[in-house]
A and B are shown apart, each in its own frame.
Chain A
Amino acid sequence: MDLVLTSEQQELRAAVRDLLTDHADSARVRTAMDSDTGHDAELWRRLGTDLGVLGLAVPEELGGAGAGHVERSVLAAELGRALVPSPFLASAVFVLDTLLALPAQPARDELAAALASGERIAALAVAEDGAGVFDPGPSATRATRSGDGWRIEGRKSPVLSGEVADVLVVHAVTDDGPALFLVEAGASGLTRARLASIDPTRRLARIDLAGTPATRLDGDAAAALSAAGDRGAVALAAEQTAGIERAMELTVEYAKIRVQFGRPIGSYQAVKHGCADMYAAWEQSESAVRYAAWAADHDPGALPLAAAVAGVYVGPRYFEVATGMVQYHGGIGYTWEHDAHLFYKRAKSDELLLGTPGAQRARLAGLLNI
C-alpha cells in the first residue's frame, strides 16, 4: 500500500490550492453560500474546464481524466479545506460513482461525460426521511411503466445539491425490485424545495415527484449504491480530514498571537494539549484516508472495510476539532464574522451525511463479523 503522495499528486494539490486561494477565500465562500444557487458557477467552470479535475476518477473513454481515487481525494481535501460551497460531492462524487458502478449504457455514458466536464450537475435522490445519502431505507417511492418510459411517485429528502442539479438520479421501487432512474430538472410533476440547514456552506433539498417521467438505468441499484457509498465515504473523509487540518492550523495560529495573563494562550497546557490532540486526530485521519483512497484504486476487495474505518474514525474527530476551534478562539470564535462556525457546522453536516455515527459503526461491526 502507498500512504505517501507522489510528486504528481502533490503538484495536483498545489494547483488546486492555488486556484482556491484566488477564487475561494473566506469572502468568496460567503458570497457563494449566500447566493441563489449556493455555489460559484465560475469556480465550477474553472474546476471542470480549466483544471479539468471533476472527472479525476472517471476513465478517459468516458470523458474523465483517468487518474484515480487518490487524486480525487486530493481534490476533495482542497475543497473541504477551503469550505467551498459546491455541488462537487453530490455530482462529481456520489452520482458519478453510482453511474460508474452500473453497466455501460448510452444514458449512463453520456451523463458521466457531462458530469466529468462539469457541463451538467447531478444530485443523488435516494434517501427518504433523513437517512444517509446512499440509504433508501424502506423506500416508499414507486416507479411504474408508462408507455415506453416510467413515471415516479414519491418524496426524497434530504437531497444534497438537489435544487441546483440539472438532473437527478432517483432510487425507486418497481414491481420487479428497486432501480435507479434519471429525472431531468424540468420534468413535469417535479418540485424542489430548499431545506433549512445547519450548514450554510451546503444546500439540501426536498424533492417531490408526482407522476414524474423518468428514464430507467439498467443494473443492480443496491450493488451500485453500495459500491458508490464506499467511494463516497473516502472522498468525504478526505474533505473532513482537510477540514481538521485547516481548523487546527487556524487555531494554532491564533493561540500563538492571542495574549492573556501576559502570555500567549497557546503556552497554557489546557490549550496546547487540546491542539496536540487535534494534531494526533489529523495525523491518524490522514493515514486512514490515504489508505482508503489507495484501496479504492488498487485493492477494491479491501475498500469496504477501509472506507468504513475512515468514516467511523474521521467523522466524529472533525466535529471535536471544530468544537475546539470555536472554544480556543473564545468570544470571537462565536461570532458570525469569524470562520470558526463554518467549520463547526460543516463538521456536523459531514458527520451525519452518510448516516449517524452509530449506523456507521453498526455497518463496520457487520463487516467485521462481530
Chain B
Amino acid sequence: MTTTAEDRLHEYRRTLRAWLAGHVPENPTGDVEEAKAFQAALHDAGYSGITWPAGSGGQGLGPAEQQIFAEEAAAFEMPVRPFLIGMGMCGPTIVDLGTDEQKRRYLPPLLRGEEIWCQLFSEPGAGSDVAGLQCRAVADGDGWVLTGAKVWTSNAQWADYGAILARTDPDRPKHGGITMFVVDMRAPGLTVRPLVDMTGGAPFNEVYLDGVRVGPDDVLGQVNAGWAAAVTMLGHERVTISGLRQKRSSGLTFEALADLGRRHGTDPVARDRLADLYAHQRVLELFNARMRQETVAGAAPGSRGSVGKLAGAMLLRRAVDTAGHLAGANMVAWEDGDTGAASLELGTNSTPASNIAGGTNEIQRGIIGDRILGLPREPQVDRGVAFRDLTVGTQTSAAETSSEQTPKGGS
C-alpha cells in the first residue's frame, strides 16, 4: 500500500483537529503563563514553526500543512497573542537573515514558548516613516552602544529579546545607515515604561535606551543593511496581521452582533447593515483563504498581504457602525456586569489600533498603489540626502536633528 501526498495531508488534518480539540483551553485567561504553556504544548506536538526549516528547529513542512493549520485553528481561540511578534515576525526574519549561531540560540526557545520577543521599530519621530529613526548605535570596540527612545512597543513588558533598528551611520541617506540588532530586554541601560492606550489597557510601552551595549554577534543581517532587514520583517508582519482572525470573544464579529440582534431585536436598517457586514467579513475570509491556496500553489502573496490588512481594518470600522444600529443606547451606557456591552466597548475603542498598527491604512493603500499597481511614486524629498540634514517627526527644522542627539523633536 502506498500513501499518496493527499492521504498524508488528510491524516495531518485529522490528527491536528483532534489535538486542537483536546488542548486549546475552553476559556483562555489571556495571561502570559497560559500562552507560554500552550506554545510549549504546540511545540511538543509538532505544530510550532510548521514551515520553518528543520535545521532552525521548525517542522520543515510546506505551505499545504500551514494552510491546513490555518483552516483548522480558525475554529479555536488559541492563547498565543504574546508569541505573535516572535513567531510571526522576528522568528521568520531570523530564519531568513540570521547566522547559524543566531538561529541556534534564538529559534528553539522561541518555538518552545520559553522566550518572548518584541519589535523595536517605532520612535516618537518615526512611525510610518520608520527609516526616519534617530536611535543611535555608536561603534565602540567591536560592538555598539545604543542610545535613544522607542515607542508603542507591544510586548516589551514581557519580552526577553527585541529586534531593534538603530542608526549606525547618520552621514548616509536615511535608508542606508540603519542596522538591525537583537537586544536583550534586560540589558543594563534599557528601561521599559508602560503606555496606557485608549481602551485603558497597557499593551504597549515606551522603551528608553541609555548606553545599551550590543556586540557583533547581535547584528541581524548586515551592518547598514538594516532597512532590507526591516522590509523583510514588515512583509512577515503584514502576512501575520492579515491572517489574524478576530477573537471569537470580540463583540464586533458578525456572529456576536447577530446574537446581539437576536436578544435586542432588530429593525430593518440594522438587519440591512448586519447582512452587509456578514458579506464583507466573509469575502475577506475567502480572500485570505485564496491567498493561502495560491501560496500552496507556489505564488507567494507578496504585497497583497496589504489588501488583507487594509480590508480587515475597514471591516472593523464597519462593525462599529453596525453595532450602533443594533445596540443603540446600550452601546453608550450599561449596567455593571453586562459583559456583552463591555466587549462592544472594548471592540469599539480598540478598532483604531487595527487601522494604525503595523502600517496605517494610508500606508497600505500606498503600498498597493506603488508595488502592486505600479503607480508612480510621490516625489521623495528625502532621497539621497544625508540623514543628519533631514527633518523628521515633529521637529520644526532640520537644524535640530543635526545638533547632536535630539531624541524627540518639537519645541
Contacts and interface: CB of A to CB of B under 8 A. Distances in A.
Interface centre among B268, B271, B376, B378 (most CB of A within 10 A): B376
B230 interface: no
Contact of B369 (A266, A361, A365): A266
B168 to A, nearest CB: 32
Contacts of A368: 258, 274-275, 278
A284 to B, nearest CB: 4
Q: In terms of DSSP, what is the predominant structure of the interface of chain A?
A: helix
B282 A276 contact: no
Interface in A256-273: 256, 263-264, 266-269, 271-273
B337 interface: no
A255 interface: yes
Contact of A285 (B275, B283, B297, B379): B283
A77 interface: no
Contacts of A4: 290, 293-294, 297
Contact of A361 (B276, B304, B307, B311): B276
B305 to A, nearest CB: 11
Interface in B142-171: none
Contacts of A272: 365-366, 369-370, 373, 375
Interface residues of B, number: 42
A309 interface: yes
A279 B374 CA distance: 12
Interface string B333-354: 0000000000000000000000
A169 to B, nearest CB: 30
Given A312-B279, A313-B280, A313-B283, A287 B366 contact: no
A1, A271, A285, A365: most-surrounded residue (chain B CB, <10 A): A365
B362 A370 contact: no
Nearest to A368: B278
Interface string B278-314: 1110111011011001100100000010010011000
B283 A309 contact: yes
Contact of A266 (B258, B262, B310, B376): B376
Interface string B223-256: 0000000000000000000000000000000000
A252 to B, nearest CB: 5
A365 B271 CA distance: 6
Contacts of A308: 279
Contact of A3 (B289, B304, B377): B289
A283 interface: yes
B328 to A, nearest CB: 16
Contacts, number: 131
Nearest to A248: B373
B258 A370 contact: yes
B70 interface: no
A27 interface: no
Interface residues of A, number: 41
B51 interface: no
Contact of A273 (B294, B366, B374, B379): B366
B202 interface: no
A183 B307 CA distance: 49
Nearest to B326: A370
B266 A370 contact: yes
Contacts of B370: 272
B368 interface: yes
B310 A280 contact: yes
A353 interface: no
Select the residue from B280, B294, B307, B366 with max chain A CB neighbours within 10 A: B307
B61 interface: no
Interface centre among A279, A286, A370, by most chain B C-beta atoms within 10 angstroms, is A370
B228 to A, nearest CB: 24
Contacts of B284: 284
A256 B286 contact: no
Nearest to A283: B307
A362 interface: yes
Residue among B261, B275, B364 with max Cβ neighbours from chain A (10 Å):
B275
A329 B50 CA distance: 47
Nearest to A314: B283
A160 B375 CA distance: 39
Contacts of A1: 289
| Pairs of residues from A and B, 6 with the lowest C-beta to C-beta distance, nearest first | A272-B369, A276-B368, A276-B365, A266-B375, A3-B290, A287-B286
20 contacts: A1-B289, A2-B293, A3-B289, A252-B375, A256-B374, A264-B375, A267-B376, A269-B366, A275-B369, A280-B311, A283-B307, A287-B287, A288-B282, A290-B286, A291-B289, A309-B279, A313-B283, A361-B275, A368-B258, A368-B274
Interface of A: 1-4, 252, 255-256, 263-264, 266-269, 271-273, 275-277, 279-280, 283-288, 290-291, 308-309, 312-313, 358, 361-362, 364-365, 368-370
Given A276-B373, A370-B271, 8 more contacts: A255-B375, A256-B375, A256-B376, A263-B376, A275-B368, A288-B283, A369-B258, A370-B262
